[in-house]
């Protein structure tokens, strides 16, 4: 059995206004108890531009059980918004990681209800 991580957000679809709270639960099931498990809210760039990635907020649990869940609530900063330009695209995500297992859930942070296209 391989390690399994799953993020469930409390909102579907994952579209938020800047400043809102992104909440949800992280579930994991591992062969052996991991040393630590963490979950973070981050934004990254895509597109022609050089990569840039930043962590806006993070929680972590040290020495968790081999299976369990962790609730989180991150407040989205007011900027940057999710947008897509010809040179750069800014994407918000919730990322969870434990050892080699990793999962990413994209979300949108925009007052228009959708990623802004430049």
Partner 1 sequence: MRGRGSKKSGGKSAVWFLVPFGSIFLLAGLFAFNALFIKPLRLMRAAQSWPAVPAEVVSSQVRSSSTSDGTTYRAEIVCRYEVSGRSYTGERYDAFGVSTSSYKKWAAVVREYPPGKKVTVYVNPADPSESLLNREGGPMLLIGLFPLIFVLVGAGVMAGGIVGTARSHRKWKPEPAGIADGPQELKSTVTPQAKAFGISAVALFWNGMVFGFLFRSDAPFFFKLIFAAVGVLIAAGAVHAILALLNPRPQLRLHTCRIYPGSEVQLDWTLSGRAERLERMTLSLQGRESAWVTRRSGGKSETRKEHRLFFDEPVYEVTGAESLRQGCLRFRIPADAVPSFKGGRFEIRWQLKVRGEIARWPDVNQEFVFKVYAPGGVS
Q: Which is nearer to partner 1, 47 or 68 (CB)?
A: 47
Binding of partner 1 by 21 (CB under 8 A): no
Question: DSSP per residue over the chain, as a string?
Answer: ---EEEEEESSSS-EE-TT-EEEEEEEEE-SS--SEEEEEEEEEEESSSPP-EEEEEEEEEES--SEEEEEEEEEPPS-SPPEE-SS-EEEEEEEEEETTEEEEEEEEE-TTSSPEE-
CB of 15 to partner 1, least distance (A): 15
Q: Which is nearer to partner 1, 13 or 19 (CB)?
A: 19
Binding of partner 1 by 44 (CB under 8 A): yes
Binding of partner 1 by 86 (CB under 8 A): yes
Binding of partner 1 by 13 (CB under 8 A): no
Under rule CB under 8 A, how many of the chain's residues touch partner 1? Answer: 38
User: What is the binding site for partner 1 (CB under 8 A)?
Assistant: 7, 18-19, 43-56, 77-81, 83, 85-88, 93, 95, 102-106, 111-112, 116, 118
């Amino acid at each position: 059995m391989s390690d399994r991580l799953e993020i469930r957000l409390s909102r579907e679809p994952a579209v938020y206004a800047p400043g809102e709270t992104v909440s949800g639960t992280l579930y994991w099931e591992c062969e052996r108890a991991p040393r630590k498990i963490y979950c973070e809210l981050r934004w990254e760039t895509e597109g022609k531009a050089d990569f840039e990635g930043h962590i806006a907020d993070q929680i972590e649990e040290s020495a968790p059980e081999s299976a369990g869940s962790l609730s989180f609530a991150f407040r989205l900063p007011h900027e940057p918004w999710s947008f897509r330009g010809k040179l750069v695209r800014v994407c918000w995500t919730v990322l969870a990681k434990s050892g080699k297992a990793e999962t990413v859930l994209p979300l949108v942070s925009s007052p228009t209800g959708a990623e802004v296209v430049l």
